[in-house]
Chain A
Amino acid sequence: MPEPTPMDEETLRARVRKLLEEAHPETTDSISFRQKQYEHGLAWVHFPEGYGGLGLSPKMNMIVFDEISKHSKVIHTTPPASVIGIGMGAPVVLTYGTEEMKKTLLPKIFSGEEVWCQLFSEPGAGSDVAGLSSLAIRDGDEWIVNGQKVWTTVAHLSRWGMLLTRTDPDAPKHDGLSYFLLDMKAPGVEVRPLYQITGEAEFNEVFLNDVRIPHARMLGQEGQGWRVAITTLMNERVAIGGGGSKRKGGGATGQLLDVWRQRKKGAHSPAQEAMLRDRVTRSYMDNELLRLTAQRARASQKAGNPGPEGSVAKLAQAEINKRMWETAIDIMGSDALAFEAGYALRQTAGAPDSVEGIAKYQFLRSRANSIEGGTSEIMRNILGERVLGLPGEPRIDKEVPWKDVPRS
């Protein structure tokens, strides 16, 4: 028998059990537990040692989760407000941050102590985010930023923002951008809620008025912000297109199946029932295919930042999710005429408590799936051009100075 490598599956599981001896999720709050998890290198095992990881393959993260679930009824999963920080902030800090940033920022991103937001989109630049107009001007060791960001999820809860902004309007658009870590408490940062079709406000407008940022908080070189942004966006797609539920018929599919099983008998004709049943089966299949595709991708994924394949899952998941909740609404039929939760505009809506309530909420919320993190049209362009190698469209905005490009 060959000697097992220092970190085979069993060694990793043993390490998880050691963590559980020191801190158990059933008796420790989420933040304290996740701090310990980070110290043990079990936060994201594909990160290097000393930064919450063990330098293992990304698929080994599943083993940590699996081992914790074996020994604990309570699982301190990613806090909802930390999805952006963990999914995008952490890889960006790891790839482009200074040693000091990694040491101070990463533990708090993982524990949930500090929430992060992504300040990319602007009123005039969404899909074409490289065309954005907010502007930073150098002033000694600092930059002074002015402009407006929009659709900024969890900005109202955030400690740090990933800011993409223009530093050279005379360069072609991709070459004149820089990437900063923005202290959301800095003077001149103003966050206003923006209400969405569900009535709640997950996202915000962020106004930047003469905000000063130390030069040391620039990630990557001046003018190289686009490269850092691409790292962020690729990780975003993977964070969003997370591959459906981890197990069969679980997660959102489980909720659809609940709606189906609790349907009012006799409300639909036999022919309608048969059609609805086929749609439910298709949704079940779609989610299985997402899960299996993610499993296959993990099996072949090498360490490092994800490639354009992330767009396959992102595109598929968005369309599948919308279809699934449309089916749930059609199963409910006229009962879906009522929207019990109401549309009182507020920052965060309480989670709906019934199967029907969840479905009605998700029917509305899922419309964003094919917009947020890059629209489905943009995903198809990326798949067509970057994965399949099809030619791009003739461009009128690439070689010319950004300031000469037409804008709406």
Chain B
Amino acid sequence: MPIEMSLTDEHEELRATLRAFLNECSDEATVREQMSTERGYDPDVWTQMAEQMGLAGLIIPEEFGGAGYGYVELLVVMEEMGRALLCSPYLSTAVLAANALMHCADEKSQKELLTEIAAGRMVAAVAHAEPNGRWDIEGLEMTATRSGDQWTLSGEKTWVLDGGSAQVILVLARTDSGLSLFRVDPEAPGLRREAVPPLDLTRKISQLHFEDAPAELISAGDQSANFERVLALTTAALSAEQMGGAQWCLETAVEYAKTRLQFGRPIGSYQAIKHKCADMLVETEFARSAAYAACFAAAEQEDDFLEMADLAQSACSEAFFHAAAETIQIHGGMGFTWELPVHLYFKRAKASDLLFGDAAQHRESLANRVGL
């Protein structure tokens, strides 16, 4: 029998608590304020999320100070954050870095870093992509250099989420034992961090230049398979965030279509608009199914998890982007303005699609996995 994908009352309570919190800490004015800062988020809110709500360590095991929850809880959290367009290092730190540490790092580093992350004292960035533009594991080319017990890194890492504000940088690089995870101090000599002006202002990205930068090896053995899983876990969580964004667009577009009158009628009474909304509803419902499937498969450690993560990335990326694009269109001239927040979702949608390899790449990966 297939796993039953339904949320419990506790999950709905978590959602309600989170929505109330985000209504306060991630209203439109706050989002606009935070996105115009260099850091891109409010450190006080980050601490509050960690200390009062246990969100930073949501999926981190209790032995490392986390809440020890699973991917179903994360699904709810990411959906709400996506809806509220929260500006936060949540994806980089609580999802990507936490997973990288949990799946690739040695115990000592896990203890040290996961504890700090869960406590809200540390923002962590993972540096993996490189200027070659590839997102697959084989595309990782940076090779670490060893002299004695010391490791150094040289080369470029691109599109590093929150690379500018992180207190620790986790770098993927090759060694004799295969793909390895390194810990680098952001202030290390030989590391230059350059902020990239982002398409999506709500998530900050950096380019990192390494020139014989000292690094600490914190993994043992080849991490290719583990890191592939880390990326899939990250896109699964991201897909829930995208689905939440799509849901916001749908609701916003429908609300506008009910209240905007042209030619003496609400524009939502014209089928050209009504049918767009209906199609958005179908796509959003499908995106929800995909995000659920991926996150439930992650939670239950199902065999088909990697496949479901590919499916969710592709379905949710396209649904979110399409919903945001249609929401602009339904708002007419207003949709094209800076004043309305729709463009922020539109940009978030495209950036989220491109962040870990786009929808077409994930479909290709899916095709490979199921043998098409």
B282 touching A277, Cβ below 8 Å? no
Contact with B along A255-290 (1 / 0, CB 8 A): 001001000000000000000011011101100110
Q: Is B311 an interface residue (CB 8 A)?
A: yes
* One of B289, B314, B360 near A296 (C-beta < 8 A): B289
Beta-carbon contacts under 8 Å, A352-408 to B: 377, 379-381, 383-385, 387-394
- Residue in B268, B293, B314 whose CB lies within 8 Å of A292: B293
Chain A residues with Cβ below 8 Å from B278 are 315, 379-381, 383-384, 388
B134 on interface, CB distance cutoff 8 Å: no
Whether A292 contacts B292 in the complex (CB less than 8 A), given A390-B254, A393-B269, comes out as yes
B285 & A384 in contact (Cβ 8 Å cutoff): no
Per-residue CB contact flags for chain B residues 343-371 toward chain A (1 = under 8 Å, else 0) read 00000000000000000100110110010
B281 touches A391 (CB 8 A): no
For B258, the chain A residues whose CB sits under 8 A away are 389-391
Which chain B residues (1-37) contact chain A, with CB distance < 8 Å? 1-2, 4-6
Given A289-B315, A390-B274, the answer on whether A282 and B363 have CB atoms closer than 8 Å is yes
Query: Which A residues are in CB contact (< 8 Å) with B363?
Result: 278, 281-282, 285
Contact B269 A390 (CB under 8 A): yes
Q: Does residue B135 face the partner (Cβ distance < 8 Å to A)? A: no
Q: Is B290 an interface position by the 8 A CB rule?
A: yes
Question: Which partner residue on chain A sits nearest B5 by CB separation?
Answer: A296
Bound CA span A84–B288, Å? 30
- Which residues of B from 261 to 275 have beta carbons under 8 Å from A? 265-266, 268-271, 273-275
Contact count band on B: 35 or more
Is B151 positioned at the interface, with any CB of A under 8 Å from its CB?
A: no
Write out, one digit per residue, whether chain B residues 74-103 have a CB within 8 A of any chain A CB (1) or not (0).
000000000000000000000000000000
B181 at the interface (CB under 8 A from A): no
Q: Which residues of B contact A282 (CB under 8 A)?
A: 363
Does chain B have a CB within 8 A of A221? no
Quick check: A391 and B311 within 8 Å, CB to CB?
A: no
B292-317, CB under 8 A of A: which get 1 and which 0? 11000000000010000001001100
Given contacts A312-B281, A390-B258, contact A285 B274 (CB under 8 A): no
| In the complex, per-residue mask of A113-124: 1 if CB is within 8 Å of any chain B CB, else 0 | 000000000000
In contact, A388 and B282 (Cβ under 8 angstroms): no
How far apart sit A63 and B273, CA to CA, in the bound complex (Å)? 42
**Does A32 interact with chain B (Cβ within 8 Å)?**
no
Give the B-binding residues of A (Cβ under 8 A).
62-63, 66, 248-249, 257, 260, 277-278, 280-282, 284-285, 288-289, 292-293, 295-296, 299-300, 312, 315-316, 377, 379-381, 383-385, 387-394
| Bound-complex Cα distance A394 to B271 (A) | 12
| B200 CB-CB contact with A under 8 Å | no
Closest 9 CB pairs of A and B: A384-B274, A380-B278, A390-B268, A383-B278, A292-B289, A299-B6, A380-B275, A391-B269, A289-B286
Using known A-B contacts A292-B289, A293-B289, determine if residue A392 contacts B281 with beta carbons closer than 8 Å. no
In the bound assembly, the distance between CA atoms of A252 and B162 in angstroms comes to 45
Contact A285–B271 (Cβ < 8 Å): no
Among B103-161, those with CB < 8 Å from A are none
A391 to nearest B CB, angstroms? 4
Known contacts A278-B360, A296-B288, A389-B254; can you find 8 more A-B pairs with CB under 8 A? A281-B367, A315-B278, A315-B282, A380-B278, A380-B279, A381-B275, A388-B277, A390-B258
Known contacts A312-B281, A316-B282, A380-B271: A299-B4 contact under CB 8 Å = yes
- B230 interfacial contact with A, CB 8 Å: no
**Mask for B145-186, Cβ within 8 A of A = 1, else 0?**
000000000000000000000000000000000000000000
Q: Complex Cα distance A292/B302, Å? A: 15
- Bound together, the chains give a CA A394 to CA B261 distance in angstroms of 14
Specify which of B6, B265, B286 lies most central, judged by the most chain A CB atoms within 10 Å of its CB.
Answer: B286
In the complex, A281 Cα to B359 Cα: how many Å? 12
Asked whether A391 lies within 8 Å of B268 as measured between CB atoms, the reply is: yes
A285/B281 in contact, CB under 8 A: no
Query: What is the CA–CA distance of A379 and B268 in the complex, to the nearest angstrom?
Result: 15
Q: Inside 8 A of B273's CB, which chain A residues have their CB?
A: 390
A257-B6 in contact given A281-B366, A383-B282, A387-B281 (Cβ < 8 Å): no
> Do B292 and A300 touch (CB < 8 A)?
no
A-B contact pairs, 25 of them (CB 8 A): A278-B360, A280-B372, A281-B363, A281-B367, A285-B314, A289-B290, A292-B5, A292-B289, A292-B290, A293-B286, A312-B281, A312-B282, A315-B278, A380-B275, A380-B279, A381-B278, A383-B278, A384-B274, A384-B277, A388-B277, A389-B254, A390-B268, A391-B265, A391-B266, A394-B265
A288 in contact with B311 (CB, 8 Å): yes
CB distance from A238 to the nearest CB of B (A): 15
A312 to B250, CA, bound (A): 15
Pairwise interchain contact B367-A277, C-beta atoms closer than 8 A: yes
Assembly CA distance A154 to B306 (angstroms) = 44
**Chain A residues whose C-beta falls within 8 Å of the C-beta of B231 in the assembled complex:** none
Any chain A CB within 8 A of the CB of B237? no
**Does B205 touch A at the CB level, under 8 Å?**
no
Q: A278-B363, A293-B289, A390-B277 are in contact. Are A377 and B282 (CB under 8 A)?
A: no
